[in-house]
Structure 1
Amino acid sequence: MQTELAPEFQGTADGREAEAILRKCVHCGFCTATCPTYQLLGDELDGPRGRIYLIKQVLEGKAPTRSTQLHLDRCLTCRNCETTCPSGVQYGHLVDIGRKIVDQKVPRPMGESAVRWTLKEALPSPLFGPAMKLGQSVRGLLPAALKAKVPAPRPAGAWPTRTHERKVLMLAGCVQPSMAPNINSATARVLDAAGIQAVVAPAAGCCGAVRFHLNDQDGGRMQMRANIDAWWPLVEGGAVEAIVMNASGCGVTVREYGHILKDDPAYAAKAERISALTRDLSELLPELVPALKGRVAAPAGVVAYHPPCTLQHGQKLRNGVEVNLRALGFDIRVAASESHLCCGSAGTYSVLQPELAYPLRDRKLGHLNQLQPSAIASANIGCITHLQSGTQTPVRHWIELLDAALAA
């Protein structure tokens, strides 16, 4: 795609990167066929190709409007288009650049700005945990929209106390310890059973995705640097063999630290090392299966699996959960239709764009329920919470199901 950058973007890091991405696009339209928002709205500007044109126009000097901002806001950043694209267009990086520039040029309404500020400040805050406990204590009295975001409380269970020679770092995350604490402890227990010790660096916090994708990119980078600082003594000394992520939304972000911090002279090399060491929890399954086989009492009934977009499109990891859990005796299946499509959670998207997020959730649940599952599994706290708000079928992280089967 021919591009002529406006003078204000020529020679800038964002301008160079955006131009390189745009030049790969041959505007074939394959991406449109797999875009969830285009399927819902039928508007070319609510598909990847249309959004690429909007970003291109802004980079070439056309003044963005509120309409430009809305079309970019409606993008889930599910990156399904990247999986579909035959030319390797890195749409996710391009839309981050486009949103940042448009937000600098188009003021948001006060109410909208307040909601976005609250999300980026509250979700990574130490106060989120106490607030979630308060919400859970009065959950039955909450209005439906808020109740959907406050999962019923569930115990975390015991954290293993054994030490092992093999150690991996694990990011506790910002919302997961409060919303679903059993995910982290179940991860530690399953790894412990296979002779691997999960280590958590107390100073590590939010991965930075919440701020970064709400266009507080500087704030997101600060959180990324803080995590690198917290992990670096263990990484530099070789005390851990990997950084394991059990939330695919965090995983895709940490895997991109090297890219996001590439122009930071103090952190570029460290960020690249961190990204290289990062593994999704499912990538350890080929090692866990032989260690756990014969010790797992897989439950009866079908487990319907929803692979998060951040896993299958962002990290390009497919089939690992299904194949390996089947090897351990689980009857785990994916929906026959649209397993590649987003469930509508997409970080804070379900809060900011509920009129699109909930139809996508119900569409996803419709396909999953055709499997008549006894449980639904996923690999990201956002997807799990969002799906659970629309069904009585229990929705769990797959590691929780494996942990329960191991205990049984």
Structure 2
Amino acid sequence: MQIPAIDLREYEYTLPQEKIAKHPLAKRDASKLLQYKEGEISHLNFSNIPDLLPAETLLVYNDTKVIPARLIFQRETGARIEIFLLQPTSPTTVIPEIMLAKHPVIWETMIGNAKKWKDGEVLKGLIPFKGDTIILHAKLIDRETRKVEFSWDNAEVAFVDVVEASGEVPLPPYLNRKPIEEDKSRYQTVYSEKEGAVAAPTAGLHFTPEIFEQLRAKGIKEAQVTLHVSAGTFQPIKSSQVTEHPMHSEQIHVNRETIEKILSHLGKVVAVGTTSVRTLESLYWYGVKLLEGKGEDLKIEKLFPYVSRESVPSAQEAYEAIVNYMKKHGLQTIMGTTEIFIFPGYKFKIVQGLITNFHQPGSTLILLIATILGEDWKRVYGEALASDYRFLSYGDSSLLWINQR
């Protein structure tokens, strides 16, 4: 297909600061919920979600777990150095593996106050851990790429334990506040399981064990995917040509049971969050790659879906190709990366509906929402603002049924 010209000005809107939710509500499922279905908008509460989903729905959510990715060190001079973990580079780039490492690891990072950190200087932090103290060292090994090596003095302790004991919750920059104790649990879904995200899949923050009980009682099925959300999700689009925006690469892990479950529920899939959408649609294009003989690695470049083709496989054909590949190679899980960029002109292959929060103007996520809703995205967001919905990560929710003709 020909990539459409995207005028970013068409995807801007005015978001007053007072509409941004700075803290979560006392109860996760007490948020408002806006439903968009067949052009109609209705206003409900998130606790109504079991009533809004058909009994045969497959609900797919992202079980990534946010790590306290913001590490604070104090130089002997008193200068504060803030290191934000972005993605691992050594001894492995595989997030689940590096989180369990018990030896030095290297991460690409963002560094606050980097000018104060001298070349060759090793920063030291003392971390209370189970009645003892761990000494954590940070060494800047490449200033240009901001690669930092972390080492610690207890070979029995994994990197994930070091981070959990010393790091701060990586709240989104637009909250413009320091994390507090409640953020440790509330900036995390109740089903978070696999450590590695540096931002929460916030659509899932509304779910509670009670909501899941009601969904299961209705016969709604569940499946889990893992996409470790990166800090790039907050990166604003600065390119005049939207398609030149450098989409962030995020790591995906999906098991065969999930893919087979999706195959048996095609046409009935509702994603919890944009990260789940990106994962499900990326898997479709991975199946296309396998069918087209374009390599066996799960790596979806940002514009791969927009490559001209005479025809594209069905969702069933693409997902069956993945299952067949996994069976052939004896794989229970596939892992890879995606940069998929979903913007108006894209046709969804797997997802019929999306549960999501309200997103920043002029962002890659608002482009995804506009792909679902068409021009009605302006009406939906306008009505949410007029109806005093709370926006962004700790804000209210929506259930959007895909409007593609």
| TM-score of the superposed pair, with normalisation by structure 1 | 0.32
Give the helix-richer structure, 1 or 2.
Answer: 1
Between 1 and 2, higher relative CO (CA 8 Å, sep ≥ 6) is seen in 2
